[in-house]
A and B are shown apart, each in its own frame.
Chain A
Amino acid sequence: MAVLLDDDRKEVWANWMRENNESISITKVDLRAAINAIDDWVNTNAAAFNTAIPQPARGVLSARQKARLLTAVVVKRFERS
């Protein structure tokens, strides 16, 4: 899977700025650079992520299901109170 289209990255950027409710002290440009870098990192490490999933889940789950699984784990790790 390729990196996100520029419009998609912009949408992520705009939505994040709307929804973030914790203090932030970087600029819009700096935030956009972070989003670009994260998307690049996800693209670079997609194969390694897939390999880390044990069978039979690796072979049975769709790419979208695996992505949602990753999202759920990451959100849980950082949203725990």
Chain B
Amino acid sequence: MASSDTLAVFMPQMNEPPTASFATPDERVDNNGRIHPVLDFDAAADEFAQFSSVMPQNYTAAAAISVIVEWACTSAISGTVTWTAQVERGNTDMDTDSFAAAQTADGTANGTSGVTTFTTISLTNAQADSIAKGERFRLLVSRNQDSGTDDIASDVELRSVEIREA
């Protein structure tokens, strides 16, 4: 697979929420009453969303990946959010959490709360738990609201997540 090619896309309805501290399913309704499903991440508590997939067979061995989070704010029109991504290869005991360490990236809110921003979190293959083609994996996405940089005074709303080969 070539650099920048898409490996996986996750939408809010594909979330597999943890039993606690989960991002809240919500919707943003446009002026014609049509919805945008979103996942709300709290400003004062760390919350998580989880997605599962299988790495495509044409994923280049040991390639770095980019996790691109598309998000907007419920009400804020300025500020910074800290996103984190963690990957777990599906080659371990399902009863034991074995996510690799969290990688982070900061994103700046758009001046209009309903306009989305794309924030890219870069992971080497090792940081992505050494995922290989054909392997099932879980992706854990969270807002690190107490990062010291995250200062947005409202929920932030995840609209989509894309994984690309870097």
When C-beta atoms are compared, the residue in chain A nearest to B42 turns out to be A18
Q: Are B79 and A22 in contact (CB under 8 A)?
A: no
Tell me the smallest distance from the CB of B16 to a CB of chain A, in Å: 23
Query: Within 8 Å of chain B (Cβ to Cβ): is A28?
Result: yes
Query: Within 8 Å of chain B (Cβ to Cβ): is A25?
Result: yes
Number of interface residues of B (CB under 8 A): 17
Q: Are B152 and A28 in contact (CB under 8 A)?
A: yes
- Which of B42, B45, B75, B150 contacts A23 (CB under 8 A)? B75
Chain B contact residues, majority secondary structure: loop
A interface list, Cβ under 8 A from B: 10, 13-14, 17-18, 20-31
For residue A22, which residues in chain B have a CB less than 8 angstroms away from its CB? 75
When C-beta atoms are compared, the residue in chain B nearest to A15 turns out to be B44
Query: Within 8 Å of chain A (Cβ to Cβ): is B11?
Result: no
Q: Are B44 and A17 in contact (CB under 8 A)?
A: yes
When C-beta atoms are compared, the residue in chain A nearest to B74 turns out to be A21
Bound together, the chains give a CA A26 to CA B79 distance in angstroms of: 8
Query: Within 8 Å of chain A (Cβ to Cβ): is B113?
Result: yes
Known: A17-B44, A18-B43. A23 touches B152 (CB 8 A): no
Query: Within 8 Å of chain A (Cβ to Cβ): is B78?
Result: yes
Bound together, the chains give a CA A30 to CA B78 distance in angstroms of: 13
CB proximity to A under 8 Å, residues B142-166: 150-155
What string of 1s and 0s marks CB contacts (under 8 Å) between B59-103 and chain A? 000000000000000111111000000000000000000000000
Q: Are A28 and B153 in contact (CB under 8 A)?
A: yes
Tell me the smallest distance from the CB of B23 to a CB of chain A, in Å: 12
Bound together, the chains give a CA A24 to CA B43 distance in angstroms of: 13
Closest A-B pairs by Cβ, 9 of them: A14-B44, A27-B151, A17-B43, A25-B78, A31-B153, A28-B153, A23-B77, A25-B77, A20-B75
For residue B44, which residues in chain A have a CB less than 8 angstroms away from its CB? 10, 13-14, 17, 28
Known: A13-B44, A20-B75, A21-B75. A27 touches B155 (CB 8 A): no
